[in-house]
Amino acid sequence: DTGVSQNPRHKITKRGQNVTFRCDPISEHNRLYWYRQTLGQGPEFLTYFQNEAQLEKSRLLSDRFSAERPKGSFSTLEIQRTEQGDSAMYLCASSLGTGSNQPQHFGDGTRLSIL
Amino acid sequence: GENVEQHPSTLSVQEGDSAVIKCTYSDSASNYFPWYKQELGKGPQLIIDIRSNVGEKKDQRIAVTLNKTAKHFSLHITETQPEDSAVYFCAASKNTGGFKTIFGAGTRLFVKA
């Protein structure tokens, strides 16, 4: 399977704990995106990487959230001191990197539930 | 701010009928408009896209139209089948600001056999 891979698929944790999610993009894609999706809504943009550089961050991404893509391949999204409102599906997408918009290919997400 | 509105939120059609989903966008700099299909427990899957230099695009039973002046774009599915039942999202994107994609709230399509 050469699609976008996300792990874990589900994460249940207690409020206040830290969680980390991983995304492995399609191998030749140098752009990587994180989105958050709540029930009944479309995905909301969180952040964007071009290779290893984080070039754009949404105001939704509070200081409890941090994303990395250290070698320009896989990426991690960490949430510190989780809150009830963090419960959502976290989606990762990747695309080719050229000067214009390219189709983004999504993984199946990590569903986070905060108890 | 940037916004994409999508209608209807729910659409029920009989198998074989057509389904139309409409979206409007606010940012006139948007130049790329993908449509995604999302099934339960899965991530969004790209089904068709259109760029701002094109008014219409078709791929088998799916077509998209774009009216840049009115900032409207639509998805048309003909000869619907039960397997078309899913949530459909329209989206808009531009070449600046990290190519971030702004999604509509989704349309839940039911195709009745």
pLDDT digits (tens, 9 = 90+) for B21-69: 999 999 999 999 999 999 999 999 999 999 988 899 999 999 999 999 9
> What does the pLDDT read at residue B96?
73
Cβ atoms of B63 and A8 closer than 8 Å? no
> What does the pLDDT read at residue B31?
92
Least confident of A1-5, A13-17, B76-80, B102-106: A1-5
Residue A13 pLDDT greater than 80, yes or no: yes
Question: Is A58 an interface residue toward B (CB < 8 Å)?
Answer: yes
> What does the pLDDT read at residue B67?
95
Residue A40 to residue B106, Cβ atoms within 8 A: yes
Task: Give the β-pairing of A19-24 and A75-79.
Answer: antiparallel
> What does the pLDDT read at residue A1?
53
A53: nearest Cα among A90, A97, A89? A97
Residue from B10, B37, B46, B100 to probe the interface with A (highest A Cβ count within 10 Å): B100
Residue A82 pLDDT greater than 90, yes or no: yes
Residues of A in contact with B36 (CB under 8 A): 106
% residues pLDDT > 90 (chain B): 88
Give B34-45 pLDDT, tens digit per residue.
999 999 999 999
A100: burial class by Cβ within 10 Å (0-12, 13-18, 19+)? exposed
Where residue B1 falls among pLDDT bands split at 50, 70, 90? low
Residues A26-55: what's their mean pLDDT?
Answer: 93
Residues B84-101: what's their mean pLDDT?
Answer: 87
Q: How far is CA B55 from CA B26, B29, B52, B63, in A?
A: 18, 16, 7, 11
Task: Give the β-pairing of A31-37 and A44-50.
Answer: antiparallel
Q: How close is the nearest chain B Cα to the Cα of A31, in Å? A: 9
Residues A75-101: what's their mean pLDDT?
Answer: 92
Give chain A's end-to-end CA distance (angstroms, integer).
33
Where residue B98 falls among pLDDT bands split at 50, 70, 90? low
> What does the pLDDT read at residue B42?
94
> Under DSSP, is residue B6 helix (H, G, I), strand (E, B) or coil?
strand
